Chain A
Amino acid sequence: MKKPVSNVGTQDEVRSVAEEALSALMDDESPELELRRLLKSGDSDPDLKQQWFRYNLARTAMHGEDITFDSDFAARVRAVIDADPEQQQFDQQGQNEPSERAGWIQSLGSFAVAATVACVVVIGGQQLASVDSENAESVARVAPIPVGVVNTTGAVPVQASFGTTALPALQPADRTAYRELARQRLRRFSQEHAEHASLNTPQGMLTFARVPLVTQELRDLNELREMRELREKREETRDEARDAGSQ
């Protein structure tokens, strides 16, 4: 009797921690490691994903922007793919046909699916570069990532490229998450960039004024990063051990 109770307790604990982290993220107060963990746990926890979506929706509404009800974009695209009779046919064929032919048909089928996906998502502009030509066969299985880049100079139109991993599960939040990542990178790397910019541009040392937060020593920053990663790893293994022990 005790076992399931303690299990539920742990899960609740994990959830509330995750929700807290989520809330911190929405307030731009989340450390980057937390974000990564959140991205990971969002995969396995649909409720958390929904919550993230709701938070984003609320924030978007607060900023007075248009709201698109896109609660589970990934699921919708997946549904389109699954509903495609051609794709089903190919899937069945793929199991029976000799592998050589199947590969050929697969790529054709992939193309068809890619077209279907492209109907769902409007993409514009010109391709900058293919992300990874080695994994071309899996290209059709994924949806493009919405691009948060503002084309400031108009030199090159921006297009979402087809990635190679599974359908992004946190589509609406990804933009926010990546914006946050970029913000954190700016904070983290500015000083290191300034070290070199200051020696190679006319503004010299003044380039350090662009650094948002000056830190004592660059080395400390790296050490700090390593320490945090180690701690995270340690926590993970401890959690795993505890889960294994409780079952």
Chain B
Amino acid sequence: MVLYKQFLLKTPLGLQRVPCVPSLRGPSELRARKEPNERGGKAEQKVQKVQKGQKELREKQYSFRSSVRACIGSFALVITTVSSVVAQDSAQEDECPQMDAKVQSLLQAMSRNSADIDYSGVVTLQRGSDMQIMRYSHSVSAGRATEAISRLTGQDARIVREAHPTARKYPGHELLRAEKAASGTLCGLTDHYRFRVREGDRIAGRDSVRLQVEPMDMYRYGYVLELDNESALMLRSTTMSVDQREIEQFQFASFDLNPGREEQAAVEHRAGNPHPQESSHLRTGPAWSVSWMPKGFMATDSAPPDSARKSYTDGFASFSVFMEPLNAAIKPGEGVERQGSTVCYTRGMVFGRVPVLLTVLGEIPTNTARMVADSVRMR
């Protein structure tokens, strides 16, 4: 009971698709749920509008500064900028029309609920002919989440992330929730992906809604996400290559909204809770930077210039760049290893005078990894 209430309160989707749990749906309850949500939604929209307006205002002021200064007085300036903001505001809505309300609410619900709800299940990962099976569980108490994956095939290993603050905001999820526009753009995800909503398959005994996510350039993959009708949690995620091949698929084989059980394994990795602003870094020595990456990618954490690793995300995809100074010279060259949607591109080169191995690892096409590696510069 508590569980359902919890996610319904936080799920915009829950408003549209009332769950099939009769005991929960009292009219008073519905009203109680509806109000804060609507207010929250409007307030959010308003904040976004104001932010957009402010940014526009700044740009406007900059570009027109000289001409305005020359011919109009300060009173006229105020009127001009205010009216331009109003005009720009409505123009903005036209420029970013792709993200319709349904897609927006689906993405927000998926992102929020994956952090806030208790659920568990058996998940398969299909990559080519290889299939791995694992048990996944996620539980929350007092704003802290515990998630765990236990591998059921292959290596006997378990990965646990404990006491993770659910309120902590990470760039990837902020992009999904449209709480933060990607750097240099105002529309965020809609600048790089096209979205379509369809009826989904029945997965793990549950009805789903299908969200097709198509990339607008060749620097990233596409996705087909099938989200649980009730909770918007991801039941199946398929990564599509540029030529529309399925290269990787996560799928729940069984899914239930119950707390997971405690398990044991030979190898237990405790996943960290790296803070997006204050995560710790292994320093390498040379200061470096990535001078090119596909539009819409942003750093997942504030890495110092000499960090051994820098990670980036566009909301759906992510990649990390690793810098390893070597203590011996190495022949320049490059190598690639691919597993499912993951690519590992390693290049040996001389960086300034230091021989280094540069590695780009992530769920991006090989060419993108190569171009990112090409753009790494000394600072």
Contact = CB atoms under 8 A, between A and B. Distances in A.
A199 interface: yes
A210 B154 CA distance: 12
Nearest to B335: A178
20 contacts: A36-B328, A40-B329, A145-B332, A152-B365, A164-B332, A165-B350, A178-B348, A182-B345, A185-B322, A185-B361, A196-B313, A197-B318, A200-B315, A200-B318, A201-B363, A205-B148, A205-B161, A206-B136, A209-B134, A209-B250
Contacts of A199: 170, 172-173, 274, 276, 300
A51 interface: no
Nearest to B218: A155
A201 B317 contact: yes
Contact of A128 (B157, B218, B242, B374): B374
A218 B159 CA distance: 12
Interface stretch (A6-14, A82-90, A113-121, A168-176): A168-176
Contact of A210 (B270, B271, B340, B346): B340
A193 interface: yes
Contact of B336 (A145, A150, A202): A150
Interface of A: 36, 39-40, 128-129, 131-132, 145, 147-156, 158, 163-165, 168-170, 174-175, 177-183, 185-186, 189-206, 208-210, 212-218, 222, 229, 233
B356 interface: no
A58 B174 CA distance: 53
Contact of B250 (A147, A180, A203): A203
B176 interface: yes
Interface string B165-180: 0000011110010000
A181 B313 contact: no
Given A174-B331, A178-B335, A214-B269, A151 B309 contact: no
A28 to B, nearest CB: 11
Q: How large is the interface on B (under 10, 10 to 19, 20 to 34, 35 or more residues)?
A: 35 or more
A118 B268 CA distance: 53
Interface in B299-351: 300-301, 309, 311, 313, 315-320, 322, 326-337, 339-340, 342, 344-346, 348-350
B278 to A, nearest CB: 14
Contacts of B300: 196, 199-200
A202 B348 contact: no
A152 B366 contact: yes
Contacts of B339: 186, 210, 212
A183 B344 contact: yes
A63 to B, nearest CB: 17
